[in-house]
């Protein structure tokens, strides 16, 4: 069985939607578990990347930032986001 992509912070948070740091590859069983147990999954992520890195990622996810299509396309082409 293959892995599935899982966002640490949901896709609705556009600032981190395409961020590599915001994604994890999980098997189906663990993906289902992460969806059903978000608080426990958050604890696992904090253990993995540390409180500081998690806080930075969370702050980025929650920041309101207006982006334009051209900016997003440029970031994707340059591998920034």
Closest CA to 8 of 70, 26, 28: 26
Q: Quote the tokens at residue 26.
A: 């999980």
The answer to whether the beta carbons of residues 32 and 4 sit under 8 Å apart is: no
pLDDT of residue 1: 65
Q: For residue range 33-69, list pLDDT tens digits in order.
A: 999 999 999 999 999 999 999 999 999 999 987 777 8
pLDDT of residue 72: 80
Q: What's the number of domains the chain is made of?
A: 1
The answer to whether the beta carbons of residues 22 and 9 sit under 8 Å apart is: yes
The answer to whether the beta carbons of residues 6 and 31 sit under 8 Å apart is: yes
19: containing domain: 4-78
pLDDT of residue 45: 97
SS3 26: strand
* CB-side neighbour CA atoms (13 Å) of 35: 10
In terms of pTM, does the model score above 0.75?
Answer: no
């Amino acid at each position: 069985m293959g892995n599935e992509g899982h966002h640490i912070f949901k896709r609705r948070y556009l600032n981190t939607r395409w961020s590599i740091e915001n994604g994890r590859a999980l098997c189906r069983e663990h993906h289902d578990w992460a969806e059903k147990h978000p608080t426990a999954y958050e604890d696992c992520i904090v253990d993995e990347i540390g409180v500081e890195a998690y806080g930075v990622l969370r702050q980025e996810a929650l920041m309101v930032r207006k982006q334009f299509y051209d900016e997003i396309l440029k970031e994707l082409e340059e591998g920034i986001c």
